[in-house]
Structure formats: structure tokens, C-alpha cells
Structure 1
């Protein structure tokens, strides 16, 4: 039977491998992630669970995706390439993301469960759906799909 390795242990193992293989980008991204996790542990005053580590990783991924969009618009190809590499390092540590179709189906289910009928119910739907997709879907995408279903 395979032993379940915590996300933090996996990051540490991958950091050592990146050091040995001289993978600079991967090494720097993992170090930054570990630093963010450590800062979060200091703030919360306890060792983070895998779910809490995923929250930190999602936050870091979101920062990069937002910055990526801005750099693409500004034509900063050098920074765009760097951010894409960072994103490809972070993504494997996150749970598999829901496809847009799976997400749309889930939104429809939640809208029916709640009995939402108009955009006025948007807050209720978002409140009900976000805990279900935590770590597996981008909030902006969820928001857009909820608006589509409610309109």
C-alpha cells in the first residue's frame, strides 16, 4: 500500500530533486511556495493541513495568472514566459481542476437545490458552490458560469 505523502513533504522532496538537477526555475518557485506556507503557519500559529496548503498554492497560482494577463496586455514577453514556467511548476501540486462543463453542471445543480431564479440570488449560489469546488476551480470562472446560468 502506498504511503500518502503530505503536500509539504512532496514540496521538500521536489526541492531537493530540483537542486540536484539544477532546475533553477522549479527550485526558486518551490522555495517561494515553502516561504509562503511558512508565513501562513506563523500567522495561523499552527502547522498547515494539506487543505490549507492548497489554499496557499491556489492564492499563489491566482497571483501569477492575474499578473500573466497584465504582462501579456503590456507586451512583456520576457515576464510572460517566466510566469508561464512558474505556473507549470505550481499546478501539479493542486487537485485536478474541474472542466468548464463539469463546473457548469455543478452550478446548475446548486441553482436547482437553492431554487435560485435571478441574478439577485447570485450571492446565495456562490456561497453554496465555492466550498464544493475549493481548490478545483477558479473563482472568476465559477462567477461567470453562475451569471450565465442565472441570466
Structure 2
């Protein structure tokens, strides 16, 4: 079992001992999502695949927060925000925007991208380098703006 899944399992046991219901519930959601993906695809997820799954879960919760706030359901939005904090504990430290821009500039130079038509080529190289460490939506917007000005 990869290290990240082991860590999540250990944290579940710790949350059970501490009777931390909110943390335990979120960790169980993580483990259920991992198990579901492994069963559906008949594979055992490695750390990169678990990170991608965690990123997807964070994105889903951010979308839910927006919808709950639009509907005036702040208590549900707060619950989703608490889950995001727990999920992000398993993701690598997030890049700041200056570091992200530097990596994007480096990838654009390395791929020889010359305009918006090279967006796919840049994103293909960029994604593995920033996976789990930056919001892909934000990265995509930065790449698009940089390629438009090239």
C-alpha cells in the first residue's frame, strides 16, 4: 500500500481514538473514494493517483461552497470548508503565485510555445510538475494569458 494511503488509514485510527467526528467523517469519505476508484478500475492507486483524487474532492467542495452561499446556506458552506482543510492536509504544500508563474514561464520556454495554439503542449508538460501543489484552473488561466501575450 502506498505511503499516502497508509497515512490516511493511520489518521483515521487516530481520529477514532480522539473521537473527532468531523475529521473521521472526512477521512472515511477519502477512503471510500479511494476504494471505489480501485474497485471500478480494478487497480491499486499509487500516491499520484490518490493526490489527483484528493484534488478532485477539494474542487468539488469549492463548487459546493459557491452553490451553498448562493442559496444562503452558510452552515453547509462552513461544513464544506472544514472538509477542504482536512483534505488539504494530505496534499503537498501549495505553490505561491510567484513560484507558479516561474514554473509556467520555464515550461513555456522549454516547450518553445509561441501562442494560444500551444496551450495543450504546455499544459501536458506543466500538469505533472504542479500536480497537487497548485490549482489547475488557476494555472490554466495563467498559461492562457501568458501565451496570448507571446
Normalised TM-score (structure 1): 0.89
Displaced runs of 4 or more, over 4 A: none
Pairing partner for 1:65 from 41, 62, 66:
62
State yes or no: 1:77 paired with 2:78: no
The counterpart of 1:28, out of the listed 19, 25, 28, is 25
Per the alignment, residue 118 of structure 1 pairs with 115
TM-superposed deviation, 1:47: 2.1
Out of 90, 95, 116, the position equivalent to 1:93 is: 90
1:142 matched to 2:139? The reply is yes
Q: Does 1:128 align with 2:125?
A: yes
1:83-117 deviation per Cα after TM superposition (whole angstroms, max 9, x unaligned): 11000111111111211111111111111122222
SS in 2 for 1:15: helix
**SS of the residue 1:97 aligns to:** coil
Structure 2 runs not aligned, ≥5 long: none
List runs of 5+ in structure 1 lacking aligned partners. none
The Cα RMSD (Å) is 1.5
SS of residue paired to 2:19: coil
Aligned to 2:104: 107
Distance 1:101 1:8 in 2: 31
> How far apart in 2 are the matches of 1:74 and 1:120?
39
Q: TM-score, normalised by structure 2?
A: 0.90
- Paired residues, what number? 147
Deviations 1:101-134 (A, max 9, x none): 1111111111112222222222221122112111
- Distance change (3 Å), C-alpha of 1:78 and 1:126: same
